[in-house]
């Protein structure tokens, strides 16, 4: 049986001037074409060879000895080589570029940009890319609580937060309460595993464990003070919105870091501001 979009072992059953003809076991009705120019020089009838199978624009079933950057069941970050009115074309390592249809795009897709996509198959056995990768991600990650990881933002839900493909393959989400600063689809993010849910999906944070994060936040406040001539128009009575706008951190994180700086004698709090003491 032919498995479109996957690497598989097929048998050479015939050779012509330009093609090796391959067949899958128990599927002698379909001929798979492997260009002689792209095949190993010593291949002959009766040999078995591992190939990737897809359909070309002429509806021919083609084989390639090259494994593409993306196969069915996986996700990969691919670069856009061209855009058209009906979609974008991605470089996935084969002679024929991979189509990312408009209806399968999430957010703005630009030529030269790199986007996380999965591989899908339509009823005509044509392969195409999709940025709607939720169902392609896995839940059996090796991570535990407070581990650090990397991921790619692939979608947003205003009610829940930012969806992240951890290591570009595992389910993850940054809840709204953990989102600080500007994040866009396609952004690479460093995250901490805040929780491993019972279903195996990962709840993420952009912030470190509290002890480490206090140090980081304290440095942010100090740098902001220095950039503002030693004065910052914030204090522990400032609104959470103003603190988030100025420092990209929550009010509770701000107060923890400010407490550290006060203890060290680095700052002084007045009625309307923080002042640098060094």
Instruction: Tell me the per-residue pLDDT of 206-237, one tens digit each, with 9 for 90 and over.
Output: 877 666 777 888 889 999 999 999 999 998 88
Q: What percentage of the chain has pLDDT greater than the value 70?
A: 97
Phi, psi of 65 (to 5 degrees): -80, -10
In the chain, CATH 2.40.50.140 covers 7-64, 75-134, 139-205
Quote the mean pLDDT of the chain.
90
Helix (H) or strand (E) holding 252: helix 251-263
Does the pLDDT at position 30 exceed 90? Answer: no
The yes or no reply on domain 210-276 and CATH 1.10.10.10 is yes
CATH superfamily of 75-134: Nucleic acid-binding proteins (2.40.50.140)
Q: Where does 7-64 sit in CATH, by number?
A: 2.40.50.140
Cα-based torsion angle of the residue sequence 152, 132, 9, 27 in order, rounded to the nearest 10 degrees: 180
Rounded to whole angstroms, the Cα distance separating 272 from 165 reads: 42
Q: What percentage of the chain has pLDDT greater than the value 90?
A: 61
Highest mean pLDDT among 45-54, 181-190, 257-266: 45-54
Does the pLDDT at position 177 exceed 90? Answer: no
Phi, psi of 111 (to 5 degrees): -60, 135
In the chain, CATH 1.10.10.10 covers 210-276
pLDDT at 59: 85
pLDDT at 69: 95
Give the mean pLDDT of 62-88: 94
CATH topology for 139-205 is: OB fold (Dihydrolipoamide Acetyltransferase, E2P) (2.40.50)
């Amino acid at each position: 049986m032919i498995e479109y979009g996957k690497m598989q072992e097929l048998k050479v059953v015939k050779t012509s001037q330009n093609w090796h003809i391959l067949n899958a076991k128990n599927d002698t009705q379909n001929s798979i074409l492997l260009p002689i120019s792209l095949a190993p020089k010593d291949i002959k009838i009766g040999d078995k060879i591992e190939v990737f199978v897809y359909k070309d624009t002429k509806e021919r079933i083609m084989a390639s000895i090259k494994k593409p950057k993306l196969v069915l069941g996986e996700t990969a970050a691919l670069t856009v080589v061209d855009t058209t009115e009906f979609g974008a074309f991605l470089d996935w390592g084969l002679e024929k570029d991979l189509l990312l249809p408009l209806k399968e795009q999430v957010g703005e897709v630009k030529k030269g940009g790199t986007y996380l996509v999965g591989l899908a198959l339509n009823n005509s056995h044509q392969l195409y890319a999709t940025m709607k990768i939720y169902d392609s991600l896995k839940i059996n990650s090796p991570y535990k609580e407070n581990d650090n990881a990397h991921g790619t933002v692939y979608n947003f839900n205003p009610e829940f937060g930012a969806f992240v493909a951890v290591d570009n393959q595992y389910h993850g989400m940054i809840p709204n309460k953990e989102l600080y600063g500007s994040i866009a689809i396609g952004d690479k993010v460093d995250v901490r595993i805040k929780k491993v849910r019972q279903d195996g999906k990962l709840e993420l944070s952009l912030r470190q464990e509290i002890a480490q994060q206090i140090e980081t936040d304290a440095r942010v406040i100090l740098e902001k003070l220095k950039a503002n001539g030693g004065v910052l128009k914030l204090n522990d009575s400032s609104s959470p919105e103003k603190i988030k706008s100025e420092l990209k951190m929550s009010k509770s994180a701000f107060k923890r870091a400010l407490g550290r700086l006060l203890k060290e004698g680095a700052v002084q709090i007045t009625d309307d501001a923080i002042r640098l003491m060094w």
